[in-house]
Chain A
Amino acid sequence: MPDMFQDAHSDDFKNNLPQRKQRGKLGQTLFLISTVVGIIALLALLYNITNEMFGLVAVQYQTDPATLSDRPLSELSQPELVTILEENISRGLFRRYDREAPIAERSREDLLALIDERVVGSQIVAAYPAIDSIIDRAAIEAEVAEKYPEARVEWKSWLNPDFVASPMSSTPLFAGVRTALLGSLWMISITILVAVPIGVGAAIYLEEYASHESMINKVIQANINNLAGVPSIIYGMLGLAIFVRALEPITSGAAFGIAGNNGRTLLSAALTMALLILPIIIISAQEAIRAVPRSLRLASYGIGATKWQTIRSHVLPVAFPSILTGIILAISRAIGETAPLILVGASTYIVTDPNGPFSNFTALPIQIYNWTSQPQAEFRNLAAAAIIVLLTVLLSMNAIAVYLRNRFQRQL
């Protein structure tokens, strides 16, 4: 190949032409294949998650619900359910639940769930992926009948309204992502409040005010570029040492009269995430501001506007759609980021909803990581369902970004 141009006049040229063309075709095919491999991987990923998200499960009772009452449980009244609960669980447990929320005042749904968990004791003894369940249902039923004679086989979608609405539980059948989802949303809201003003402010300063020659601005610019390449786990260490430990009085809320927490709070995590996405926001906002035509600024100065008036009323509105896109990309990154959260100590087993920036919390990616690390197969199914919730949040963020961008661009 290297000497392909040398003997253009010889017969070799004509002779090797078909060969070269063929090689060209082969090359093109290989390049196409390498492009497609990425897409295949994406499809495989989606297939894999869907496959784990549905499927047959074998559920086994500890107590048959038919023995508890002569009518189906779902038809019983609230006082009857209370009686069943009182008769069938230990006194200590009953008192514990009573302390959490008075049992006599609980709703029927709540009681049914409690009875289901504590008295009936439904338990998943085996779970099968969707494809196997569809193709080979008979074999699965036979296997279950042999191994777990008392279990019944039923089709289960791991992602269901209950899964989104119920808190973490150590029993896969009752576990949900409510706490994690709320934790993620809380965290991301605080992150936005912190990172967006600072990020956009820094971008405005660097593009509009800073002279590009001055030393300090060159340092800031180089620094931002380098920060964008720092692994996220390093930010986690920064958050652990600074926000969780050094600033514990502030991040735990002790300085504001809220006692009983350590520094591993939503606030610490959100501040860490804010630092993590700051470079992304700054760089994209800088690009957006740079793209605003100079003539617009000059016209504004020409009618006597000050610098800030020009920026506020002319530069920012024009740059807004692109800034917004950058912000949303950065936020998507923060929602999916896991490693820093492990460091700043998002706990995995939290059942109470976060109720403010100073509460301990868990987040969706942490929950997924935790479930994935469990050896039992059922937790993989839970992880798959949680992944779908996470991806849905990400997709809706991006959809909002596209919508807002189109809307604001039309107005201009």
Chain B
Amino acid sequence: MESELQKAGKDQKLMEREVAVGKERVDTPVRDVTTSFKAPRRWGETIIQGLLFLCGIVSIFTTVGIVYVLGHESWLFFGKPDVSIFEFLTGTVWQPSIGLFGIMSLVNSTLLTSAIAMLVAIPLGLGAAIYLSEYADQRIRKVLKPVLEILAGVPTVVYGYFALTFMTPILRGLFGKDTVEIYNVASAGIVMGIMIIPLVSSLSEDALSSVPRGLREASYGLGATKLETALQVILPAALSGIIAAIILAVSRAIGETMIVAIAAGAGPKPAFFLNPFQAAETMTGHIARISGGDLSYNTVQYNSIFAIGMTLFVITLLLNVLSRRIVARFREEYE
């Protein structure tokens, strides 16, 4: 009995304790008894996210920086007494020493080198793309493609060297030393074209191989040869992607600096000339030459290269955006 009483007492005590615990729980919740399903705030995570966001923002600062720098220095340039924005855009002579700043002659040279580069890069790049995507079997592709891509990895200064010491002598041998100057647009343009081949070919090949297989099969089924299929079915179907690739290539050619700086030559030229065997100075070539010397800050010349840079930036940006727009539309068609 006693023991039972004792037991009961114990139970009583236990119960009281439990009640007490319960009470305690109601009054002040103990943290390691309750399970909270809300994750605690981790400041480390927030800080990391913040840092990563800052990394992402750096690129915005870069763009802002570019626009600010080009805009600010161009503003100073156009603020000089002997410079007007109208003359800058329409003038045909670029000769800072006598205060003539007409960008048209530089633009003319740039367009000429780029056009020659495109004459080389479009047919060859497109031909290579068609061969690799439509004709070559897996084994040949595996060899040819990386080799072509090496071309894209060669530094441009090496291409400049190649243009001057290899292409120019060949051109001078072919057309005569009297017609072809040592520094000439053709040599720079051709070598630039070679440099751009991989860009055109790899982007075009992507476009070609994303044309649905069904189109090829249908064409073969109708009795078309491989060439007819490639040129009349696949090529039109991939046209938007190919055009986008070409626009990107043009933008690349316009912005290319070292090849023209080394091989295309310098010196003032009249605008609207088409002779590819003459020396000419492009926008990028001029910037490189002027800033290569001891360029003192805050002179008209210093500011002028930023105005050229602004022109260059706007042209290439427009081309890149255009190219991306075309690709975006092209994607919608097939996916």
Contacts and interface: CB of A to CB of B under 8 A. Distances in A.
Interface of A: 1-2, 4-5, 8, 20-21, 23-24, 26-28, 30-35, 37-39, 41-42, 44-45, 48-49, 52, 197-202, 204-206, 209-210, 217, 219-220, 223-227, 229-238, 240-242, 245, 275, 278-279, 282, 306-308, 332, 335-339, 342-343, 345, 365, 368-369, 372-373, 380, 383-384, 387, 390-391, 394, 398
Contact of B147 (A42, A198, A282): A42
Dominant secondary structure of chain B at its interface with chain A: helix
Given A225-B320, A230-B255, 13 more contacts: A32-B131, A33-B127, A42-B150, A202-B55, A226-B320, A241-B73, A339-B156, A345-B291, A369-B157, A369-B261, A372-B164, A390-B158, A394-B153
Interface string B150-161: 110111111111
Interface stretch (B17-25, B42-50, B90-98, B209-217): B42-50
A31 B226 CA distance: 12
B48 A35 contact: no
Contacts of B305: 237
Contacts of A26: 227
B47 to A, nearest CB: 10
Interface string B113-157: 000000000011111101110111000000010011011011111
A369 B160 contact: yes
Given A30-B127, A206-B56, A238-B66, A39 B148 contact: yes
Contacts of A384: 161
22 contacts: A1-B232, A4-B224, A5-B222, A23-B225, A27-B226, A31-B134, A35-B201, A37-B124, A39-B144, A42-B147, A205-B53, A234-B255, A234-B312, A236-B291, A237-B70, A237-B309, A241-B73, A308-B49, A332-B153, A336-B158, A342-B291, A372-B262
Given A342-B288, A369-B160, A24 B226 contact: yes
B30 interface: no
A4 B227 CA distance: 13
A35 B205 CA distance: 12
B162 interface: yes
Contacts of B66: 230, 234-235, 237-238
A343 B287 contact: yes
Interface stretch (B1-9, B57-65, B79-87, B270-278): B57-65
Given A24-B227, A35-B131, A242-B65, A229 B161 contact: no
